[in-house]
């Protein structure tokens, strides 16, 4: 779905927050700060319990939770923020920050609480970059993760296949497995409505050593010699020529699919590996591993979802202070909330001390090689950050989907993607 925001709408939205006017003095004088916290609807019971823990130590703050589904989150939050619906702390994505900050809906927390910057050396670089816009830090991590190459270790061992380190080796291994009777060795999350459909592609391009854009935000992918162009051709060939890829429309369907033993490879959010290796629910639990992303660089996409403060919260002293206390409790301090997410849910993290935390290491050792994950995290690169990325991604994902199944050529898709990128860049930046 394309997000149709004009430059005028983006820039004009800056005045929307100002139109709220001054908060009445009686609101400032209230004993309790009523925070509205907005999230997407993952593990709401855990979120509610974390809120209860915060409120137990902050009796002058009451937090109200509102949630939306992940596919609807971006569009719903656009309407919510445009309409000045009371919102104080919210989940933000790295690809949404530039547009929402430009619109004036979010504030750089470090401008109000400089102590936020003391966390920079405790957080992975890619995550710090994802939370930064125009040199200012806007939040603390909710979770951070990598999109990694995942495989069934037992299948490879049984067939005397070495873990692939290049995409040529992935194809070679897949064709070998087809000869043994495995119809579709690679299962792929194929859903043009999901932002991660594009992100998974980018992660694979990073593994090859490629980039989608240069430092001046010129598109690189329309060049037939670019790694992005070559990889989309690889994917199309894998589907149409070699017939090695099966499609599922969501990660939740790939988990049981991998546990049938009918597939050996996938590229997914790393936390999915924890679910695939869940001994209580999955028949092949313990067989799945991650490897460094195939390609000469072995890099991958790293990204950070984070707690952000709205301009509505910043306009009121008590709401601003309470919002910062809540954000620091959830994403900072001694990182106990991030540790909980990591141990209980397998969610990735950007807080560097957690890599060496005994509790996290013990919990994660049951489903992943922590050293491999740590190495992949050091090679991770954050995605491109622009005010128009969300709009462009919504345009490009359907083209990507059509090309993978052979309904468009790689050149047609890449040329159309580059053209639209430059149109949006001109619309927003004027050049």
The number of helix segments (H) and strand segments (E) in the chain equals 21, 12
Determine, yes or no, domain membership for 379. no
Q: Is 266 in the same domain as 335?
A: no
Residue from 41, 82, 32 nearest 65 by CA: 41
User: Over the chain, what is the mean pLDDT?
Assistant: 92
CB 404 within 8 A of CB 235: yes
User: Residues 256-280: pLDDT tens digits?
Assistant: 999 999 999 999 999 899 999 999 9
CA distance 218 to 250: 31
pLDDT tens-place string over residues 148-203:
999 999 999 999 999 999 999 999 999 999 999 999 999 999 999 998 999 999 99
Structurally, how many domains does the chain consist of? Answer: 2
Assess if residue 373 is contained within a domain. no
Domain boundary among 368, 400, 415: 368
Q: What is the pLDDT of residues 91-110, one digit of tens each?
A: 998 889 999 999 999 999 99
376 within some domain: no
pLDDT of 323-340, one tens digit each?
A: 999 999 999 999 999 999
Domain span including residue 401: 145-301+384-429
Which backbone phi and psi does 350 adopt, to 5 degrees?
Answer: -110, -10
The confidence score (pLDDT) of residue 195 equals 86
On whether both 239 and 149 belong to a single domain, the answer is: yes
Is 375 within a domain?
Answer: no
Indicate which CATH number applies to the domain containing 123.
3.40.190.10
Residue-wise DSSP of 208-277: HT--SB-TT--B-TTSTTSHHHHHHHHHHIIIIIS--EEEESSHHHHHHHHTTTS--EEEEETHHHHHHT
Residue 182 lies in a domain: yes
Q: How far apart are CA 321 and CA 101, in angstroms?
A: 20
Residue 346: its pLDDT value, please? 85
Burial 103-119 (b: 16+ CB within 10 A, else e): bbbbbbbbeebeebeeb
Instruction: Tell me: pLDDT of 404 over 90.
Output: yes
* Helix/strand/coil percent split, the chain, to 5: 50, 15, 30
Q: Which of 344, 337, 343, 332 is nearest to 370 (CA)?
A: 343
Same domain, 69 and 113: yes
Instruction: Decide: pTM greater than 0.85.
Output: no
Query: Residue 152: which H helix or E strand, with range?
Result: strand 139-152
Helix (H) / strand (E) element for 156: namely helix 153-158
């Amino acid at each position: 779905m394309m997000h149709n925001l004009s430059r005028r709408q983006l820039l004009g939205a800056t005045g929307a927050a100002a139109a709220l006017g001054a908060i009445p003095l009686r609101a400032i004088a209230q004993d309790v700060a009523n925070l509205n916290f907005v999230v997407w609807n993952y593990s709401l019971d855990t979120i509610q319990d974390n809120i209860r823990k915060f409120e137990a130590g902050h009796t002058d703050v009451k937090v109200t939770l509102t949630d939306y589904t992940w596919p609807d989150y971006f569009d719903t939050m656009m309407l919510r923020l445009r309409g000045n619906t009371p919102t104080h702390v919210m989940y933000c994505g790295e690809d949404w920050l530039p547009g929402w900050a430009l619109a004036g809906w979010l504030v750089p927390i470090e401008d109000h609480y400089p102590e936020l910057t003391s966390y920079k050396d405790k957080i992975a670089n890619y995550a710090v970059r994802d939370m930064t816009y125009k040199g200012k830090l806007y939040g603390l991590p909710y979770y951070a993760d990598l999109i990694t190459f995942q495989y069934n270790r037992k299948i490879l061992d049984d067939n005397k296949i070495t873990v692939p380190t290049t995409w040529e080796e992935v194809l070679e291994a897949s064709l070998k497995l087809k000869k043994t009777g495995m119809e579709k060795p690679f299962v792929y999350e194929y859903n043009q409505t999901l932002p991660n459909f594009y992100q998974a592609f980018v992660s694979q391009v990073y593994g090859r050593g490629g980039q989608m854009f240069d430092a001046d935000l010129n598109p690189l992918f329309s060049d037939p010699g670019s790694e992005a162009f070559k990889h989309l051709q690889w994917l199309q060939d894998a589907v149409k020529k070699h017939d090695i890829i099966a499609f599922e429309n969501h990660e939740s369907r790939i988990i049981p699919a991998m546990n049938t033993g009918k597939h050996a490879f996938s590229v997914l959010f790393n936390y999915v590996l924890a679910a695939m290796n869940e001994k209580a629910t999955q028949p092949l639990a313990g067989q799945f591993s991650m490897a460094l992303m195939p390609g000469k660089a072995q890099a991958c996409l790293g990204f950070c979802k984070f707690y952000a403060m709205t301009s509505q919260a910043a306009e009121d002293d008590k709401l601003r202070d309470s919002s910062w206390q809540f954000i620091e409790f959830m994403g900072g301090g001694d990182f106990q909330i991030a540790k909980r997410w990591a141990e209980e849910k397998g969610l990735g993290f950007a807080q560097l001390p957690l890599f060496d935390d005994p509790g996290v290491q013990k919990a994660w050792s049951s489903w992943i090689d922590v050293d491999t994950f740590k190495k992949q995290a050091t090679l991770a690169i954050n995605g491109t950050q622009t005010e128009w990325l969300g709009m462009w991604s919504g345009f490009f994902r359907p083209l990507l989907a059509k090309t993978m199944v052979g309904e468009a050529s790689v050149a047609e898709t890449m040329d159309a993607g580059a053209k639209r990128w430059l149109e949006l860049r001109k619309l927003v930046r004027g050049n």
